[in-house]
Amino acid sequence: MLKDSSLPRNVTLHLTENCNLRCKMCYFWGETGTSSNNLSGKKPAVMDFELAKKIISELSSVTPFYSLFGGEPLTYPFLEELIIRIKKTGSIVDTPTNGTLLAKNASMLVRTGFDSIRVSLDGPQDVNDIQRGKGSYAKAIKGIETLYNEREKAGKKKPTISLIYTITNDNYTSLEKLFLEDLDLNKIDWVTIQMQNFLTESMGKSYAKFLKSEFGISSDKYWKAMVRSPEDFANIDTEELSRQVKRVIAKLCSMHKNYLLLPPTFSQVNIKAYLGAKWEEMTDIYKTCLSPLTSIDITASGDVAPCHIFYDLVLGNLNEKKICDIWNGDKFQKFRSYFSQYNLLPVCSGCCILYLSGKKFRKLAKSKI
C-alpha cells in the first residue's frame, strides 16, 4: 500500500460540464465561459462512472477529501451511487451547487450521509435572477428549505448547508437585503462571501508562456475565460461594499454562524487593490500555494490538473495512467520544482484558492473586515 504522502489528499471531481443555468459571470457557461464559446461542436463531457469508481478505489487508502464539481454536479446521472461509494471509504464529500435541483435530491443527500452542500446565491430574488437566470432564486430557496427539513426529520446534522455569495457589479449593494432581511439564517450553517476570481490579459499571456516553455502546452481555453480588466469593476463602490460586508458579518457573529471571506480582509483599501489587480498592495499577500503538494482536479474527460479551474495545464490522463503514476511522475515533479523556485504561477494572485490554502487562514471563521 502506498504511503499517505504519495497520493493526493484533496480531490476535485469535475463530474460534468453540463449545467442547467447560464450565470453571467461563470467561467464555464457565462458570457466569456469556456463552454459558451466552444466552437468544436463537441457535447459537454460527463465523467464515465467506471472511471469514477477506479479513482475512488485507488485513493481509498488515504480517504481524501472529495469535492464534486461541474457544470452543475447535481445533474450527474450516477450521483447517488458515487456518493455511496465515496462514503464507504470513509471520505468526506461536498459540492457547490446552484441549488435549483436541490429539493429533488434532498432526501437522497441526507440518506447517503453527504457532508456539505454549498449553494450559490447572489442576492435577493430580483438581483440573483439577473445574474443567474429567472426563477433560480425561488428554486434555490426551496432547495435549502427542503434539505433542512429532510435533515431535521432524519435527526441528522448533515449535510451542512452553506451559502456562497459571489460579488459582482450587479449585486455588491445587495448583501444587506439578502442576509439581514430576506434569508432565514437559522437554516444556514456557513456563509462564504467572495470576490469574483479574475486575471488580467497580461497575466494570462505570461501564463501562456509558462505553459509553452515548461510543458509544451498551447491551450488557452480556460485561462482566457477568466480574463477581466480592472475597468470592468470601476463602478463598484468599495466603501459601500466593505460597510455592507461588515454589517452582515456582525449579524452572523451574533448568531454564532461560521463564515469565510475571500479575500480574508474586506477593508475598502484591500478590496480596491484586489479589483484594481494591484495584488502586491493587498493586506492578504501570500508567498506560495499549498495545492500542488496536496490536491488535484480530475476533469470529466479524465485529465489530471494541478490547479483548480485552470485546466489548460494537464499533467496526465487517467484513461492512460493511474493516479499514483501521474501524482509521482516526472511532469508533476517538474511542476512542484517550478513552485519551489518561483512560489506562484502568473495567474495565482486573482484566485481565491490561494487564500484557502494559505497557512495563515487555516481557521476559516477568523476572517477580518
Q: Are 84 and 31 in contact (CB under 8 A)?
A: no
pLDDT > 90? residue 31: no
pLDDT in tens, 216-242: 999 999 999 999 999 999 999 999 999
Proportion of the chain above pLDDT 70, given as a percent = 94
pLDDT of residue 251: 97
CA distances from 257 to 8, 51, 94, 114, 347 (A): 31, 38, 19, 21, 32
pLDDT > 60? residue 369: no
Q: Are 296 and 305 in contact (CB under 8 A)?
A: yes
Banded model confidence at residue 4, pLDDT cuts 50, 70, 90 = very low
Proportion of the chain above pLDDT 90, given as a percent = 78
pLDDT of residue 56: 98
- Using DSSP, state whether 29 is helix, strand or coil: coil
pLDDT of residue 340: 85
Q: Are 81 and 93 in contact (CB under 8 A)?
A: no
Radius of gyration in angstroms for the set of CA atoms belonging to the chain, rounded to a whole number: 20
Find the mean pLDDT for residues 147-170: 97
Tell the residue number behind the cell numbers 486575471, with chain if given: 199
Cell matching residue 137: 432564486
pLDDT in tens, 314-346: 999 999 999 999 999 999 999 999 988 888 899
Banded model confidence at residue 367, pLDDT cuts 50, 70, 90 = very low
Banded model confidence at residue 286, pLDDT cuts 50, 70, 90 = confident
Which carries the bigger pLDDT value, residue 354 or residue 18?
18
pLDDT in tens, 37-93: 776 678 899 999 999 999 999 999 999 999 999 999 999 999 999 999 999 999 999
pLDDT of residue 366: 38
Average pLDDT, the chain: 91
Integer Cα distance of 198 and 16 in angstroms: 22
Integer Cα distance of 159 and 288 in angstroms: 32
Integer Cα distance of 247 and 242 in angstroms: 9
